[in-house]
Amino acid sequence: MAIDAIRLDGKVAIVTGGAGGIGSATARLLTARGARVAIADIAFDAATALAEELPGAIAVPLDLEDEGSIETMIAATVRHFGQLDVLHNNAALLGPEIARDDGDIEGMDTALWERTYRINVRGTMIACRAALPHLRESRGNVVNTVTNLALQGHVIQAAYASSKAAVIQMTRSIAASHGIHGIRCNAVAPGMTMTPALREAFPPPLRKMVEDETLRDRLGEPGDIAEAVAFLASEAARNITGQVLVADGGCASHVPGIAPFRAFLAGGEA
Rounded Cα distance, 168 and 145, in Å:
9
Among the listed residues 81, 160, 202, 231, the single catalytic one is: 160
Burial class (CB in 10 A: 0-12, 13-18, 19+), 194: middle
In single-letter form, the type of residue at position 59 comes to A
- For residues 222, 224, 229, 232, the Cα torsion angle rounded to the nearest 10 degrees is 180
160 assigned to active site: yes
Q: Are the C-beta atoms of residues 88 and 14 closer than 8 Å to each other?
A: yes
| Residues contacting 65, CB < 8 A, separation 6+ | 115, 118, 119, 123
From residue 270, how far is each of 13, 191, 217 by CA, in Å?
Answer: 48, 25, 20
Active site (catalytic) residues: 160
